[in-house]
Amino acid sequence: MKMKCWGASGFCIFGGDGPFRRWIPGLLGMLIAAGPVFAGEVIVRLAEGVEVATRTAPSDPLLSNSPRIQQVLEKYAPSRIRPLFTRHRNRLPESLRRVQVWDIGSPEQAERAVRELADLPEVIYAEPNRAFRITQTGVTLPDDPDFGQQWYLSMIGAPQAWQITRGSAQVIVGVIDTGVDYNHEDLRGQLWINAAEDLNNNGVRDSLDFNGIDEDGNGYVDDVIGWDFTDAPRFPDGGDFLDPDNDPMDEFGSGHGTPVAGIIAAAQNNGRGISGIAPGVRVMALRAGTASGFLEEDDVAEAILYAVENGCQVVNLSFGDVAISYLLRDAIRYGIRRGVMFVAAAGNGGNATPTYPAAFEETISVSAVAEDGSLAPFSSYGSTIDLAAPGQEIYAPLIGDQYGAVNGTSFAAPVVSAVLALIRSQYPHWSAEQVKGALLAGTTEAGVFGWDIFFGHGIVNAYRSLIGGEQGFAEILYPEANGGTAADTVAIVGTAFSPNLRGYRLFYGMGETPGEYVPIAEVFGEQVVRDTLALWQTTGLPDTGYTL
């Protein structure tokens, strides 16, 4: 069968004030290596009309209305079958409402069950419940914390940006991570507070807020300052790894979610520590990672739903795995449809291997640069990178009122999340596409002119993004990166708009870094938002990879 695959690289839009070029990176080729499967659990999305009974104890029967699924159940006898997102069920789209987790026990048996389930028409997808690893390298502790330690603020134009906005408390950035040290001196007063659960209205989490009642009816009791979604019995460690609860405290070493939160929104002008890039916004603490730094994807997915339904406009994802998670993709898509922007760390592999969720088309993928503007030696890169941000020797808060330098794309991602929060604060009525357009249009060139696999569109710059006003924006949503087709006509779906739009052009080239591009279409006088941009006639093209 004829098969063509592609990476959705991009196209340019042009307006009355001259060309506006945004090359949107994509992914070429098939995933080869997958991350380790630890949990022995399988995530299953059932097709419409297919039912599998929940199972909470070995005495409960294994029941399905599908004979083929019944055979799989009896063969692998999962000790527990539980539905995901029970608190959100009535509000969710079909793609998330029919998802279950089966506890098979043995990782090897779980992988066999995945292969058998994936072949059944009654199953939309089946995948192992993998664990992500946070993307951090070493941490050092200097003796004298100081604003002057934050070299990255001048690189991204933060002091100039603060003359325009320091962020609005109405803008909430969700940090899905190992938790946040909410008692840290530089984070007190900077975190999102659930007003309905803050019974004494003092703006902090304290014992007087806990009465065992779900005041706001969101399904989470006493979630004053966020939630701990961690339910990882197969990752026992010295911390809180077993039961979800209302305490999202960071327990990872000297901290991982804590420096991420501090980079975004540490207090400013308080005589302590550092300044966050967007000190006026609020951070929502969403713990989905253990004290050992493992985040199970079902816990992450539920954290995403909580963030979306409780008002986050930006969500930071500083972790990843080389294996694709369809559950996580669907949860992110749910947020995208609600106008939420997702920022993800590209990974610390120092190579071009794609890491998810950063490699999803829906996320903003961030590589890391050093103080001299070069790509950090540990940073991953490749065709899915959107832009770069400082990520080496980033001075930030650590657990226990400490400070230190942290390294990794984990800490480049929150720089971008903070800049998005500043743009959203300044332009609250813009769409997510307009905000992302301003983010990318404001980048400073690095590497080759235009887009490249190391820096994407360039290095993030808060000031340039704020003063640029409304910018054009272009992206390709379909064909999806890492996809393929046997069709002779492919509908290219995406977005192309600009205040001064005259038209847009689409091209394709052979391979991941084409030597030349061939025109597909040139369209004048038409703005497109998540609709068909053009039809690509592929008849006669060789069976290989292409970049759009």
User: Which residues are the active-site residues?
Assistant: 177, 256, 410
CA angle 473, 476, 480 (to 5 degrees): 155
Report residue 365 as tokens: 């993928």
Match 């004030």 to its residue by tokens: 17
Rounded CA-CA distance 14/29 in Å is: 30
Determine the residue type at 341: M
Instruction: Lay out the sheet containing 341-345: strands in order across.
Output: 226-228, 282-287, 172-177, 314-317, 341-345, 364-369, 387-390
CA angle 538, 540, 541 (to 5 degrees): 60
Q: With both helix axes pointing from N to C terminus, report the angle between 297-309 and 326-337 in degrees, rounded to the nearest 10.
A: 10
Question: By C-alpha distance, which of 376, 379, 409, 330 is closest to 134?
Answer: 409
Quick one: CA dihedral 414, 415, 416, 419, positive or negative? positive
Q: Are 369 and 388 in contact (CB under 8 A)?
A: yes
Strands (E), 237-327: 282-287, 294-296, 314-317, 319-320
CB burial readout 340-373, b (16+ within 10 A) else e? bbbbbbbbbbeebebbbbbbbbbbbbbbbbbeee
DSSP 3-state of 464: helix
Question: By C-alpha distance, which of 506, 538, 509, 548 is closest to 524?
Answer: 506
Rounded CA-CA distance 70/66 in Å is: 6
Strands (E), 346-407: 364-369, 387-390, 394-398, 402-406
CA angle 32, 38, 40 (to 5 degrees): 105
CA angle 246, 247, 250 (to 5 degrees): 145
Match 């909470």 to its residue by tokens: 56
CA angle 21, 512, 480 (to 5 degrees): 75
Rounded CA-CA distance 324/363 in Å is: 13
Q: Within 13 Å, how many C-alpha atoms sit on residue 163's CB side?
A: 6
**Could you tell me which residues are beta bridge partners of residue 508?**
518
DSSP 3-state of 274: coil
Task: Kindly compute the dihedral angle of the four CA atoms of residues 169, 173, 179, 184, in this order, to the nearest 10 degrees.
Answer: -30
